[in-house]
Amino acid sequence: MAEGTGSSLLDRIVARKRQEIDILEKSGPGDWQSQSAPLDFYSALKRPGGRLRSATATSREAGMDVESARKPGDANSDYLPLNRAIISESKKASPSMGLIRPDYDPITIAETYATLGASCLSVLTDEPFFQGSIEHLKLARQAGIPVLRKDFLIHRLQIEQSRAIQADSLLLIVRLLDDATLSDLLTYSRSMNMEPLVEVHSEAELIRACDCGARIIGVNHRDLDTLEMDLSLSSRLAPVLRKKNPEAVFIAESGIENPETLKEMSDYADGFLIGTSLMRSPSIEEAWKHLFGPSSSPSS
């Protein structure tokens, strides 16, 4: 998870999740077996589309001259994360920041992200700590692009619940799981055609994730225990991942707030998970333009 306020908070969150699992054992996770097939989260990240795939990116793929493909006056082409996947996050609050977006409207936010060109959505469903809700995810799915359930998932019943609420993917945090449980939850998710995003914060966790067969790996720049941010972490872990699993999708998470950081990380990351910098802005569109440039806006 991208944010927290230390290990004691993490312990409290996990304890709460175990209580929620006890409730699921009694009430059931919902009708997960008759839901329509999930959207392909993995393919959306491997082949990002939308407005971020500019003429420059298309020309590179076609072997054309990049400079000739740029539009006159497109000064922001140099820092657009060309051909990189964007997972845009929808969250109302966090333990470390408190209320982030008072006018939180899951449908409007999701549709705005989809219109701007996000590859996928990430929706917080934890209620006591992030003011999220499974209803938020159900509403966000109306935007028509793959939706990741972002929560603290440690049990098969939570995987079944994720499918019951029509999540297309889900988050597995390596720090919370032993190898046997991580492997089991990966396999169980895939049996429902959901490819999880597996989150790590160290080389050891990255190696564990690869050894367990993770195909989408998110490097969280924020340490869940200390709250310290290390934006260089993804650059250090990228070579390790490329050696362990060259085909894995590498997502950089947390602290991505300016175009310079995006440009630098585009050299080694396949995509980005971005939430707080967009959520705390009065205008998501303006925050998007700040990060990706005016040429990424539908009105440009």
The model's pLDDT over 84-113, given as tens digits with 9 standing for 90+, comes to 899 999 999 988 889 999 999 999 999 999
Instruction: Classify strands 216-220 and 249-253 as parallel, antiparallel or unpaired.
Output: parallel
* Residue pair 210/241 in contact by the 8 Å Cβ criterion: yes
| Any domain includes 131 | yes
* Residue pair 50/118 in contact by the 8 Å Cβ criterion: yes
Q: 40: number of CA atoms within 13 Å, CB side?
A: 7
pLDDT of residue 99: 95
CATH number for position 151: 3.20.20.70
Whether the predicted pLDDT of 6 surpasses 60: no
How open is the CA angle 107-97-119, to the nearest 5 degrees?
A: 40
Dist. CA 170–CA 148, nearest whole Å? 5
| Any domain includes 77 | no
pLDDT of residue 106: 96
| Any domain includes 74 | no
The model's pLDDT over 50-59, given as tens digits with 9 standing for 90+, comes to 433 333 333 3
| Any domain includes 125 | yes
For residues 190-206, average pLDDT: 98
| Any domain includes 197 | yes
- The two structure tokens encoding residue 260: 């310079």
Q: Is 249 helix (H, G, I), strand (E, B) or coil?
A: strand
Dist. CA 109–CA 242, nearest whole Å? 34
Determine which helix (DSSP H) or strand (DSSP E) holds 5, and give its type and residue range: none
Dist. CA 300–CA 297, nearest whole Å? 5
The model's pLDDT over 233-261, given as tens digits with 9 standing for 90+, comes to 999 999 999 999 999 999 999 999 999 99
| Any domain includes 2 | no
What is the pTM (predicted TM-score) of this model?
A: 0.85
Q: Is 268 helix (H, G, I), strand (E, B) or coil?
A: coil
| Any domain includes 69 | no
Dist. CA 162–CA 167, nearest whole Å? 5
pLDDT-derived band at 295 (thresholds 50, 70, 90) equals low
Domain encompassing residue 151: 7-29+38-64+83-296
The model's pLDDT over 213-234, given as tens digits with 9 standing for 90+, comes to 999 999 999 887 777 899 999 9
For residues 283-290, average pLDDT: 94
Share of the chain above pLDDT 90, in %: 73
Active-site residue set: 89, 91, 150, 199, 220, 253-254
pLDDT of residue 65: 36
Dist. CA 31–CA 169, nearest whole Å? 17
Q: Which amino acid belongs to residue 175?
A: R
pLDDT of residue 8: 77
Q: By mean pLDDT, which of 112-116, 209-213, 295-299 is the weakest?
A: 295-299
Domain count, the chain: 1
Instruction: Classify strands 93-94 and 98-99 as parallel, antiparallel or unpaired.
Output: antiparallel
| Any domain includes 1 | no
Dist. CA 34–CA 217, nearest whole Å? 29
Whether the predicted pLDDT of 79 surpasses 90: no
